[in-house]
Amino acid sequence: MNKALVFLGSPGSGKGTQAKLLQKEFDFFQVSTGEMLRREVSSGTSLGNMIKSVMDSGGLVDDVMVERLLENNIQEGKNYIFDGFPRNLRQAVFLDSFLLEKKISLVRVFYFHIENDYVIKRLLERRVCSICNGEFNVNFHKIKGNICPNCLKQSLVIRNDDNELTIKDRMKVYLEETVPVFDFYKKKNIFFVINAMNTIDSVFCEICDKLLGVIK
Ligand code: AMP
């Protein structure tokens, strides 16, 4: 049976960075609903413009819209890391029945624990590549101007929602909507806490340890 992991945690907790590392090392595909939505926004359609205004405000995009996006991007026969989904209880219930239908077993839910002070600092220091979607930190990575260390193009940008005001709104939404999802998974005994304040390498090792017996 194919397997799925869910990454939960506040904005800036490093879910995307770790999902990309795991995808590189193991037979898993990263599913980032945030990236899917940003692609929709860049298409410049009226739907994209509507989504943009919600994302820029720090709110959550309509559940049905995000669920449809997932349905269009997930196939049977693959292993997935859900990064940024579910964001609320309704989405968690949806994911359960969706994975059942696709014959994919949810084996681990990792909660990336990070304190608030780290979050704001990390998000303000974050740069993303508009070509490869790579995520970088101006302090951890050697960055020259806006050159992506991966593509070597002048493609690094600051995300629209990585500003102090929107970060506070995103944190509020996270506390109100996403934190209640923890209990949903704790009851299933697949919930694991990761110390997301450690270095990228140590967080990766902690995740791999907690995947022992689950992945080859
Ligand atoms: P992220 O890239 O995960 O930080 O997400 C960026 C933004 O995309 C969020 O602040 C939301 O506006 C939107 N978004 C991402 N995932 C979801 C989701 N599962 N449900 C609703 N909105 C989402």
Question: Can you tell me which atom of ligand 1 is nearest the CA of 54?
Answer: 12
- Residue 216, pLDDT > 80, answer no
Q: What is the Cα–Cα distance from 190 to 110, expressed in whole angstroms? A: 8
Q: Which residue in 195, 39, 29 sits closest to 130, CA to CA?
A: 39
Q: Does residue 14 line the site of ligand 1, with CB under 6 A? A: no
Q: Please choose from 33, 42, 50 the residue to mutate so as to test ligand 1's pocket, defined by most ligand atoms within 8 A of CB.
A: 33
Q: Please, which contacts does 192-196 make with residues 24 or more away whose CB atoms are closer than 8 Å?
A: 192/108, 192/109, 192/110, 192/111, 193/110, 193/111, 193/113, 194/9, 194/110, 194/111, 194/112, 194/113, 195/113, 196/9, 196/13, 196/14, 196/112, 196/113, 196/114
CA 37, 158, 138: angle at the middle one, nearest 5?
125
pLDDT of residue 141: 86
For residue 163 the two structure tokens come to 């500003």
Helix (H, G, I), strand (E, B) or coil at 47: helix
The pLDDT tens digits for 66-98 are: 999 999 999 889 999 999 999 999 999 999 999
* pLDDT attached to residue 142: 84
Q: Which of residues 113 and 143 earns the better pLDDT score?
A: 113
Q: Report the amino acid identity of residue 138.
A: V
Asked whether 108 lines ligand 1 (CB < 6 A), one says: no
DSSP one-letter code for 60: P
Atom of ligand 1 nearest to the CA of 32: 3
* CA 30 to ligand 1 center in whole angstroms: 14
- The two tokens of residue 54 are 């919600």
8-35: per-residue pLDDT in tens? 999 999 999 999 999 999 999 999 999 9
Instruction: Give 31-47 pLDDT, tens digit per residue.
Output: 999 999 999 999 999 99
Q: Is the pLDDT of residue 120 over 80?
A: yes
Give the Å distance between the CA of 108 and the centre of ligand 1: 21
Please tell me if the CB atom of residue 38 comes closer than 6 angstroms to any atom of ligand 1: no
Q: Tell me the one-letter amino acid at 89.
A: L
Mean pLDDT (whole number) for 123-144: 92
